[in-house]
Structure 1
Amino acid sequence: MKKTLSAALTTALVIGAASTTFAAANPFADVPADHWAYDAVSQLAADGVIEGYGDSTFKGNRNITRYEMAQMVAKAMAKNTNGADKALVDKLAAEFGEELNNLGVRVANLERNADKVKWNGEARYRYWDYRDKQADGKTARTDKATMQFRLLPTAEINENWKVKARFTATSNAKNDTAGNAEMTFVYADGVYDNVEIKVGKMPFFSANDDGLVMDNFFSGAQLTAGKDVKVILEAGRWDIAGQGNSFINAADVKDHAGYQGIQVNYEKDKIFAGVGYRHFNSTVFKTVNYSKSGNDEDANIWSVGGKYTFNNIWALGGAYAQNTKADSYNKSASVQLDYKKANKVNAGSWGAFLGYRHVGANVSLAPTFDTTRAAANVKGWDLGATYIPFKNTLVTLGYFNGKQLNNDRKTQTMYARLSYFF
Structure 2
Amino acid sequence: MNKRLLKLAVTSALTVAFAVPAFANPFSDVPAKHWAYDAVNKLAQAGVVTGYEDGTFKGDKTVSRYEMASIVAAAMQKDLNSDQKETVDQLSKEFATELNSMGIKVEAIDKKVDNMVKISGDARVRYGASDSYDNTDFRARVSFDGKINDNLKFNARLTSDNMNYDDEFATKTGIKLDTANVSFDALGLTNTVGRQDLVLGNGFLHDSAMTGIASEIGNLKLFAGHLKDSNEVYGAEYGMKLGAADITADYVKYDTATNDVDVYGANVGIKLTNSVTALGEFYNVDQGNTDANAAAYGLKFNKLGLTALYRDVEDGANSAYSGMHNDIQTLKDEDGYKGLEVRYDRALAKNTTLNLKYQDFEKQDGTEIDGGARTQAAINVKF
Does the 8 Å contact 2:66/2:98 carry over to 1? no
Unaligned stretches of 5+ residues in structure 1: 14-33, 49-71, 91-109, 132-140, 240-254, 287-296, 342-349
| 1:418 matched to 2:356 | no
- Report the Cα distance in structure 1 between the residues aligned to 2:185 and 2:352, rounded to whole angstroms: 31
Q: How does 1:307-326 map to 2 (within 5 A)?
A: 307-325=269-287
The structural deviation recorded for 1:372 is: 5.6
Pair 387,201 (structure 1): closer, same or farther in 2 beyond 3 Å: same
More relative contact order, 1 or 2 (CA 8 Å, 6+ apart): 2
- Report the Cα distance in structure 1 between the residues aligned to 2:192 and 2:60, rounded to whole angstroms: 42
- Report the Cα distance in structure 2 between the residues aligned to 1:120 and 1:84, rounded to whole angstroms: 11
Aligned to 1:55: none
- Report the Cα distance in structure 1 between the residues aligned to 2:345 and 2:248, rounded to whole angstroms: 26
Counterpart of 2:203, as a letter, is G
The structural deviation recorded for 1:12 is: 11
Does the 8 Å contact 1:279/1:300 carry over to 2? yes
Aligned to 1:299: 261
Does the 8 Å contact 1:196/1:225 carry over to 2? yes
- Report the Cα distance in structure 2 between the residues aligned to 1:196 and 1:361, rounded to whole angstroms: 37
In terms of Rg, which structure is larger?
1
Let me know the Cα RMSD of the aligned residues. Answer: 3.7
Aligned to 1:26: none
Of 243, 254, 270, which aligns to 1:280? 254
- Report the Cα distance in structure 1 between the residues aligned to 2:102 and 2:242, rounded to whole angstroms: 27
Does the 8 Å contact 1:128/1:143 carry over to 2? yes
Aligned to 1:57: none
| 1:382 matched to 2:341 | yes
- Report the Cα distance in structure 2 between the residues aligned to 1:35 and 1:9, rounded to whole angstroms: 7
| 1:237 matched to 2:237 | no
| 1:148 matched to 2:148 | no
Aligned to 2:196: 202
Does the 8 Å contact 1:338/1:352 carry over to 2? yes
Pair 397,329 (structure 1): closer, same or farther in 2 beyond 3 Å: farther
| 1:211 matched to 2:172 | no
| 1:357 matched to 2:346 | no
Does the 8 Å contact 1:83/1:118 carry over to 2? no
- Report the Cα distance in structure 1 between the residues aligned to 2:188 and 2:301, rounded to whole angstroms: 31
- Report the Cα distance in structure 1 between the residues aligned to 2:220 and 2:346, rounded to whole angstroms: 34
SS in 1 for 2:198: strand
Count of aligned residue pairs for this structure pair: 308
- Report the Cα distance in structure 1 between the residues aligned to 2:188 and 2:37, rounded to whole angstroms: 28
Q: TM-score, normalised by structure 2?
A: 0.69
| 1:76 matched to 2:86 | no
The structural deviation recorded for 1:180 is: 2.3
Aligned to 2:106: 86
- Report the Cα distance in structure 2 between the residues aligned to 1:256 and 1:332, rounded to whole angstroms: 24
- Report the Cα distance in structure 1 between the residues aligned to 2:213 and 2:231, rounded to whole angstroms: 15
Q: How does 1:38-117 map to 2 (within 5 A)?
A: 42-44=63-65, 76=96, 80=100, 86-87=106-107, 89=108, 111-113=111-113, 116-117=116-117
Does the 8 Å contact 2:224/2:235 carry over to 1? yes
- Report the Cα distance in structure 2 between the residues aligned to 1:400 and 1:366, rounded to whole angstroms: 19
Q: TM-score, normalised by structure 1?
A: 0.63
The structural deviation recorded for 1:336 is: 2.6
Of 221, 225, 240, which aligns to 1:266? 240
- Report the Cα distance in structure 2 between the residues aligned to 1:259 and 1:265, rounded to whole angstroms: 20
| 1:166 matched to 2:187 | no
SS in 1 for 2:320: coil
Counterpart of 1:418, as a letter, is I
Percent identity of equivalent pairs: 18
- Report the Cα distance in structure 2 between the residues aligned to 1:164 and 1:299, rounded to whole angstroms: 30
